[in-house]
Amino acid sequence: MPAPSDDARTAVLELLDRRSDRATICPSEVARAIASKAGADPTEQDWRAVMPVVHAAIDQMVDDGLIELNWKGKSMPSRSGLDRIGRAHRED
């Protein structure tokens, strides 16, 4: 059975794969996806209990260079309140 952080990491990548290259997702979308897979009703508040795991996974994925965080188009070096998750785009 995967660890909760693995579920969060997988959910982030799956949700991003369903979007255009520059699209972003909300951390709550990740939590809802995990809660839904666990059988919880994603329209209820059950997903909020998953947010600490989602935040930990996001922090690690940012450190690993897999994703970037931004808010209203402005890049953020780390999670700070409101944020959006997008694919890491490296300039070559």
Prediction pTM value? 0.83
CB-count exposure of residue 35 (10 Å: 0-12, 13-18, 19+)? buried
Calpha distance 75→18 (Å, rounded): 22
Q: How confident is the model at residue 47 (pLDDT cuts 50, 70, 90)?
A: confident
Q: Mean per-residue pLDDT for 56-68?
A: 94
Does the pLDDT value for residue 92 go beyond 80? no
Closest by CA position to 9, among listed 63, 70, 53? 53
Does the pLDDT value for residue 1 go beyond 50? no
Q: How confident is the model at residue 40 (pLDDT cuts 50, 70, 90)?
A: low
Q: Mean per-residue pLDDT for 41-70?
A: 88
